[in-house]
Amino acid sequence: MLEVLREHRAFGGVQAFYRHDSEKIGLPMQFSVFHPPGEKSQMVPVLFYLAGLTCNEETFMIKAGAQRLATQYGIMLVAPDTSPRNTGVAGADGDWQLGHGAGFYLDATEPPWSAHFKMESYVAIELRDLILREFNADEQKVGIFGHSMGGHGALLLALRHPDRFRSVSAFAPISSPMRCPWGHKAFSNYLGDRMQAWQEHDASELMKKRNTPFPEGILIDQGLGDEFLKDQLLPLAFEQACLQANQPLTLRLHEGYDHSYYFIASFIEDHLAFHRKILGG
Ligand SMILES: N[C@@H](CCC(=O)N[C@@H](CS)C(=O)NCC(=O)O)C(=O)O
């Protein structure tokens, strides 16, 4: 059952927050939806946004300034939480890079994480299906984007489920998690030490094995003043993989912009326009 937590009228549409009992996670999960006014009269495209470390289902809706544009472009926006919460797993609290708030959009295979940390199946299957069932969203017009850990999530889920997401873009994504400290910590805890499992959850490694998976292109924005750019994000690894896979990529590097939502808000319109163009109205 879908519980409505809050609804706010915004830009002619409704900003809503929901809770439900997730089958995949085995615990209650919360997510947010911006319903554009156009949804009342026709099926609309839907865009899933995956947030980064320390964020939750509310961060994007508060900080990105996306609702006015979503009304203008007639797109529904959905933002899940970044991990299961209140799992009782030892070590899940107290480290912002692991556990609560740091689910990395994968299905953990290693105990104790494997009991609840199933964010890949949660987002790509359960939540996507729930949104299509409950709301006036068009199954043929589903896109995904995200920031940082959520940028990794967007690229990962799009590459692993190309039948479920037609368009993909990212802000400052962790582009090759198996090659950076954040990814090392997450993968060793959630996936164990098998190199093959790491490769199967690394967007750059996955891309190398594909042939033009998204022929209409991928958009990535990256700030050159981003404090995490050098050690954690590695966009050039993804660019190289796209070259190898014949994948059109627009990688825009922006002088002076950092990792924050001020950067995201500055370029959010281009992302909505990018997805709207691929998905159609
Ligand atoms: N807590 C970390 C920063 C974490 C961080 O920058 N998180 C990004 C995603 S990786 C974010 O979106 N934070 C929420 C915000 O800026 O509102 C620190 O203090 O260095």
pLDDT at 281: 77
The alpha carbon of 54 and the centre of ligand 1 are apart by a number of angstroms equal to 6
- Active-site residue flag, 266: no
- Active-site residue flag, 21: no
> Which atom of ligand 1 is least distant from the CA of 260?
16
Amino acid identity, residue 145? Answer: F
The alpha carbon of 158 and the centre of ligand 1 are apart by a number of angstroms equal to 23
- Residues whose beta carbon lies within 6 Å of some atom of ligand 1: 52-55, 59, 63, 96, 147-149, 259-261
User: Residue 58: CB partners within 8 Å, gap ≥ 6?
Assistant: 17, 32, 79
The alpha carbon of 146 and the centre of ligand 1 are apart by a number of angstroms equal to 13
- C-alpha dihedral over 18, 54, 167, 79, to 10 degrees? 10
Which residue among 54, 104, 264 is best mutated to probe the pocket of ligand 1, counting the most ligand atoms within 8 A of its Cβ? 54
Amino acid identity, residue 280? Answer: G
ipTM (interface predicted TM): 0.89
Q: Whose CA is nearest to atom 9 of ligand 1?
A: 52
**DSSP, residue by residue, the chain:** -PEEEEEEEETTEEEEEEEEE-TTTSSEEEEEEEE-GGGGTS-EEEEEEE--TT--TTHHHHHS--HHHHHHHT-EEEEE-SS--S---TTSSS-TTSBTTB-TTSB--STTGGGT-BHHHIIIIIIHHHHHHHSSEEEEEEEEEEETHHHHHHHHHHHH-TTT-SEEEEES----GGGSHHHHHHHHHHHTT-HHHHHTT-HHHHHHTSSSSSTT-EEEEEETT-TTIIIII-HHHHHHHHHHHT--EEEEEETT--SSHHHHHHHHHHHHHHHHHHH--
Length of the chain: 281
The alpha carbon of 53 and the centre of ligand 1 are apart by a number of angstroms equal to 6
Strand pairing class (28-35; 13-21): antiparallel
The alpha carbon of 181 and the centre of ligand 1 are apart by a number of angstroms equal to 15
- Active-site residue flag, 226: yes
Assessment of whether the complete model's pTM goes beyond 0.80: yes
C-alpha span between 179 and 183 (Å, rounded): 7
Which residue among 59, 259, 266 is best mutated to probe the pocket of ligand 1, counting the most ligand atoms within 8 A of its Cβ? 259
pLDDT at 275: 98
Full set of structural domains in the chain with CATH = 2-280 (3.40.50.1820)
pLDDT in tens, the chain (281 residues): 899 999 999 999 999 999 999 999 999 999 999 999 999 999 999 999 999 999 999 999 999 999 999 999 999 999 999 999 999 999 999 999 999 999 999 999 999 999 999 999 999 999 999 999 999 999 999 999 999 999 999 999 999 999 999 999 999 999 999 999 999 999 999 999 999 999 999 999 999 999 999 999 999 999 999 999 999 999 999 999 999 999 999 999 999 999 999 999 999 999 999 999 999 97
pLDDT at 250: 98
